[in-house]
Amino acid sequence: MMKAVYYYFERDLVKWLRGRVTVISSLVMPAAWLVFVGLALPTKFTDNYLEYITPGILVMTMLFSSLQGGSLMIFDKILGFLNKFLAMPSPRESMLYGKILFISVRGLMQATVILIIATLLGVRILSPVQIILIYFTLFLFSVFFSALSTMIGMYLSDHDSYAAVNSMISMPLFFTSSALMPYDVMPAWLRFLARLNPVSYAIDSTRTLFEGGMPVHGLISLAIGAGIMVLLGTYQFRKAFV
């Protein structure tokens, strides 16, 4: 199983790395968000908005990267690779796990660029343990939405439909989260939505780690959510391709 998962992971990674324009743009855009939003947007609720928004940009990057992962499933369906993979002797769900792993690792590579730039701009990271836990938090969050995106990709047959669904999910989730402002300055209706938003769980946990705390409840919630979504994705994958 693990060997098959690694094969599918390596396949998608090599394919992604060969598209130099795609790689460069996927690394530059999150950094641009950090610089232009973090340094240019004036706020009254914090003296250092860059430090406040960095966790939000990290999670936003993982969110957008994860939701783009469903297009990989559509790509394999359109070109006929999916049927060939399903005929191989390896467990079928290993393809699903390989895609989830690749999508998550790709997002972490983008997050690394943001962390480096944020550090150069003066954002404080207290210890190597913090960095490890930040990566772990982002990984759990990415697994959750990578599994969701691949499930959506199973049932859609073209990239245009998926792009529309992607935008319909990603933008409302981001703008109704705690990424751009704290709860106490939000309108009541937005505060209610933000506290229910799974994106806020990841942002709040990451922000707590940047501040030197330990978001135990946030990590447990993300781990449970990721586990449930992977199990659901496995069930749907087996059901869709029996």
Residues 102-121 pLDDT 10s: 999 999 998 998 888 888 88
Structure tokens at 109: 């590579």
**Tell me, what's the pLDDT at 42?**
57
Q: What is the pLDDT of residue 44?
A: 63
Q: pLDDT (tens digit, 9 = 90+) per residue, 43-65? A: 666 667 778 888 988 998 899 88
Place of tokens 């409840």: 217
56 vs 21, residue with greater confidence = 56
pLDDT, mean of residues 184-193: 89
Q: Residue range 117-138: average pLDDT?
A: 87
Predicted confidence at residue 95, as pLDDT, reads 84
| Mean pLDDT value across the chain | 84
Identify the pLDDT of residue 45: 61
Q: What is the pLDDT of residue 47?
A: 67
Determine the average pLDDT of the residues in 1-23: 80
